[in-house]
Amino acid sequence: LGGSRKKNALPKVNQSIMKEDPKVVTQMDIEDIGEKIAFCRCWRSKKFPLCDGTHNKHNAEANDNVGPLLLRRAEG
């Protein structure tokens, strides 16, 4: 990659999402979230930052146990 980047000491978490940006930051208004939403925490979703279930494939291949952050609107 670019010459100014530090040499990697650890494997990358983010393999493919917004790699041209120095940092991946997502902002979402609470009002735009419906009754429930699932945010990806495995960094492999094709719908990032939303979960598309790709974590299941990763978990099977890597013997890992990652999963989404589920937000649900409280009743009442």
The contact set with ligand FES (CB under 6 A) reads 40-42, 44-45, 51-55, 67-68
Nearer to ligand FES (CB atom), residue 3 or residue 12 = 12
Placement of tokens 């790699």 in the chain: 19
Rounded Cα–Cα distance for residues 42 and 20 (Å): 19
12 is a catalytic site residue? no
The residue annotated as part of the active site, out of 6, 23, 36, 57, is: 23
Q: Is the dihedral of CA 54, 58, 63, 65 positive or negative?
A: negative
Please, which residue, 6 or 47, has the CB nearer to ligand FES? 47
CB of 22 to ligand FES, least distance (A): 22
Query: What is the closest distance, in whole angstroms, from the C-beta atom of residue 24 to ligand FES in the complex?
Result: 13
The Cα-based distances of 59 to 11, 44, 56, 63 in angstroms read 17, 11, 5, 5
- Residues serving a catalytic function are 23
